[in-house]
Chains A and B, each alone.
Chain A
Amino acid sequence: MSFKRVSKLGRIRSFSAFFGTFLLTLLIIGVVIPGASIAADAGVSDTLEERISPMGRVHVEGDDSFEPAVEAEASEAEEVVPYQMKKPSRSDYPDVGVSSRAIVWVLAQLHLFFGALVLAIPLFVLVIELVGVSTGDERYDSMAQEFMKISLTGFSITAIIGGSLAIALFTLYPDLMAYMTHVFGAQMLVYASLFFFESFFLYTYYYGWNAMRYGNLKWLHLTLGLLLNAAGMTIMVMANSWATFMMAPSGVNEVGQVVGNIWEVMKGPLWNPINLHRFIANIAFGGAVVGAYAAFKFLSTRDPEERAHYDWMGYTSNFIAILSFLPLPFAGYWLMAEIYAYSQQMGITAMGGILAWLFIVQAVLIGTILLAANYYLWAGMSRTEGSERYKPLIKVIAFVLVTCFLVWVTPHTLILSATEIAALGGSHHHLLGPLGIMPAKNIAVNLMLIVTFLSFQLYRRSDKVATVSWAPFGNALMVAIYVVAVANVIFAGVYYGYFTNTVYKVGSSVMQVCSTLVVIVVGITLDAFLFKGAKTLPSYWGKVPDRAQYALFALPVAFTWLMGLMGYVRSSVKTHWHVYTVMKDNSPDNFIPTIGYAGNMITLVTVLFLVMVLFMFWIANLSATKQAKPVASVDGGAA
């Protein structure tokens, strides 16, 4: 009975995913092929002879102009008119009564949320499965399978929203999409075909899990997982190339004509920074979302065994989310550095222009993420008896986190009245003003990352006692690395940030980033050796306060909102251009909306995402639900 139910759900999922994929493919094929043929046929006359015999040339009886026609064709071929990019005017944009940008905004952001989720989950599922194989602990294998089960409906939702987004784009922005299909051409067909590969690997990977659980078949199963991830990653980087082409076009000239091959078009200056940034962010996001699932299941049950399982699952999800999140700001640095190198104007529009206020909201969101993640780790220390020795440090970490958070949210420029300026003694406060600029914020964010890693490291150490002979030296080395890194972050930020010119200000952030990365890399490596064969203290899964689980809800909510916010800034830096410097946006929405309007839109999309994720979780649980067989009552009716 239960098996049949699973199969039916599987068929529904398969159908909806196939339908979405089919819709998207049909759309792309429908647009690309005619576009390509029009481009190829440009300048070639559609004569009677050609209509009769497109492969060659026939002489029509009674027509004695055969020879001259060949000459005419030759001369026409020489005058092939290259593709002319249309410059759309206001009237070229369909008016559907609702803001076209708002429609595309909602669909694109939802597609991105689900796309990120379904690309990330198979990635860490594969790693967890591999850990299960290498340790021989079947719990990892079961957890990996459960993660896949949760996300399965997400693939269908992603495909359906993707198809809807394509319809919206081709309908509402026809000239832009005509240009994009001209530029990317057959690459879009490759993109669409990859969905079929991804679907094949997805279903064989998921439904073949139990059939390929042990021995050599397990390796075949892992290979399927690898191929699923390869297809997914390729889809992601191909789609990224469209977004980065619109931000920093390459392979085209100033009037939009394609002058390079498809590789030159794809490989713009921002492509790889975006690829890396999205790759890392997707994993953090995916980890956070499945963590919320585990937290919900933990809170919903009183069964100690189930609580232990979901506590462990929530911890693993948080581990994935935070470990991926820690290097994310550095990928962000690289992206911004490349944006500045491509166009200083674009960089300043994002960081120092009208979008600058956005980074106050970003600080609130990242502060929420770090505080929630740290709180979860501190609360989780109650699982182990050995955590008592580290508890005094929690107060120090909390103090550093809160102080740095306050520095981060300190604005640089305030909109003030004349009276307020007079009272303040200038447009900037003499003490708080210096905290508003980037050097102070760089110090704050690096220190927050360092102490978050410290929380993480203390948690990992709390159930272990090192037994190696060089343990005191190892600990002293770790403390020294923390002290030097913190000193370096503060020195680089203060000296280069306030006492040298702008060029060095930017350069100093590299020193700070390196200090933070050294702490993380050395910390992980050193602990791996230090706690080899360590004495393990008792640890009780499930023995964690309920309130800690709310931190696992705070993470995906803040992540989702943050992704929406970053989508707003990424798109807005193009200002009034569809394709920066090449194709102007002349639509009624060609302005950068206010942060308040953007915030409302992000909230709308986040709530929609939340509802859909709940649906996804519900479907995942439905597959495991089995209705009790009705028992006939003594009077012949149903009980």
Chain B
Amino acid sequence: MNVLGKTLGFSLGMILIFTLVANLLPQVEGEAPVEQKVDLGALTMESYIALGEALFSGKGTCTLCHNAMGRAPDLLVMNVGGAAEKHLEDERYKGKATNIEEYLHESMVDPGAFVVASFGKKGSNDTESPMPAVNKAPIELSEIEINAIIAFLQFKDGNDVTVELPTEAPPVEAAPAAGSAPAPAATAEDAIKKYGCQACHSMLGTESSVGPALDGIGSRQSAEQISLSITDPAAAIAEGFTPGVMPADFAEKMTVKELKMIIDLLLEQR
């Protein structure tokens, strides 16, 4: 055999060995999450919990970190409800939840509200969580899906499942039930929280890049301009931002007092 034949044979032999090793290993395919239509009318608590379990290891990608490898608390072996109660009483807790269900919800959409000791981001002294907010990209769980996971976590430890089955209109998007209009906010901060301004705007110490930052807005805009931006967001769009993202129905939802409180607070941001 000439040199070309020998060297080619040797090289191809090696390539085939590598290919063989790759094919001998367990073959796992990483499927993209598939949007599932849930028949809310036929949903039972059992199937809702099962959905939560599937989401926990599937679309939610929770098991990537919450496992026995020590990256994050191993939720499948610990009593999640019991741990949540302790965390709520912990002096480091800085969230707004008042019960286990709210705590679990908050820990998924705002994981930094409480970071379990030794599981924080490196160098943050457990003040920052490495966990992404599950309602945002890349996970993007809906409110129904988040609640399904909460139901699963409550159920697996034998705790009371306090999550209610979703109705046709998911809670977060639901219009207030007739005759039960939400109570007006007492303070400007409450009003900002009530209407979710901080979800899109950087303000009062929080950060978000979906909408224009409102830090220092008082030095740039008048009360009239701020009022117009809230009640008719399409009237003027800040450069580089998409029209139609900000809800256009605040004029219907807000009370006059709430609007005035928010404007006054924003005018103070200089």
Contact = CB atoms under 8 A, between A and B. Distances in A.
Contacts of B71: 344, 348, 352, 502
Interface in B1-50: 3-4, 6-8, 10-12, 14-16, 18-19, 21-23, 25-33
Interface string A495-507: 0000001110110
B30 A572 contact: yes
Contact of B138 (A365, A415, A581, A610): A581
Interface stretch (B84-92, B168-176, B237-245, B260-268): B237-245
B241 A596 contact: no
A184 B33 CA distance: 29
Interface residues of B, number: 51
Contact of B19 (A300, A345, A593, A599): A599
B137 A554 contact: no
Interface in A590-605: 590-600, 602-603
B136 interface: yes
A32 B92 CA distance: 52
A144 interface: no
Interface string B227-256: 000000000110111110100000000000
A360 B31 CA distance: 22
B65 A585 contact: no
B25 A596 contact: yes
Contact of B32 (A343, A349, A590): A590
B30 A591 contact: yes
Contact of B132 (A345, A553, A592): A345
B121 to A, nearest CB: 8
A593 B29 contact: yes
A81 interface: yes
B243 A364 contact: no
27 contacts: A78-B236, A79-B237, A82-B241, A257-B242, A295-B7, A299-B6, A345-B139, A348-B64, A349-B64, A353-B64, A357-B26, A360-B25, A364-B21, A368-B14, A501-B118, A550-B7, A550-B10, A557-B14, A557-B15, A580-B138, A582-B137, A592-B30, A595-B25, A595-B27, A595-B28, A599-B23, A600-B22
Nearest to B31: A591
Contact of A84 (B70, B130, B242): B242
A295 to B, nearest CB: 8
A560 to B, nearest CB: 9
A395 B241 CA distance: 67
B209 A259 contact: yes
Contact of A360 (B10, B21, B23): B21
B22 A599 contact: yes
A625 to B, nearest CB: 16
B30 A575 contact: yes
* Dominant secondary structure of chain A at its interface with chain B: helix
A357 B209 contact: no
Nearest to B131: A344
B76 interface: no
A475 B88 CA distance: 62
Given A84-B242, A576-B32, A502 B14 contact: no
Contacts of B31: 591-592
Nearest to B25: A357
Nearest to B138: A581
A561 B18 contact: yes
A576 B33 contact: yes
Interface of A: 78-79, 81-82, 84, 253-255, 257-259, 292, 295-296, 299-300, 341, 343-345, 348-349, 352-355, 357, 360-361, 364-365, 368, 415, 501-503, 505-506, 550, 553-554, 557-558, 561, 572, 575-577, 580-582, 585, 590-600, 602-603, 606-607, 610
Interface in B92-144: 118, 121-122, 130-132, 136-139
A34 B110 CA distance: 42
Given A502-B71, A503-B118, A553-B7, A561 B15 contact: yes
Given A257-B240, A296-B7, A341-B122, A594 B21 contact: no
B22, B32, B136: residue with the most chain A Cβ atoms closer than 10 Å: B22
A575 B138 CA distance: 9
Contacts of A345: 61, 64-65, 132, 138-139
B69 interface: yes
A553 B21 contact: no
A596 B138 contact: no
A354 B64 CA distance: 9
B60 to A, nearest CB: 11
A467 B242 CA distance: 75
A300 B240 contact: no
B204 interface: no
A-B pairs with lowest CB-CB distance, top 6: A599-B22, A592-B30, A576-B32, A581-B137, A594-B27, A596-B23
Contact of A575 (B21, B32, B69, B243): B32
Given A254-B210, A296-B7, A558-B14, A592 B138 contact: no
Contact of B69 (A79, A352, A561): A352
Nearest to B27: A594
Contacts of B137: 254, 581-582
Nearest to B16: A603
A295 B10 CA distance: 13
Nearest to B22: A599
Contacts of B69: 352, 502
A126 to B, nearest CB: 29
Contacts of A505: 70
A121 to B, nearest CB: 20
A361 B210 contact: no
Given A82-B241, A361-B21, A254 B136 contact: yes
Contacts of A295: 7
Contacts of B242: 82, 84, 255, 257
Contacts of A577: 138
A392 B11 CA distance: 31
Nearest to A368: B14
A35 B241 CA distance: 19
B26 A598 contact: no
A431 to B, nearest CB: 19
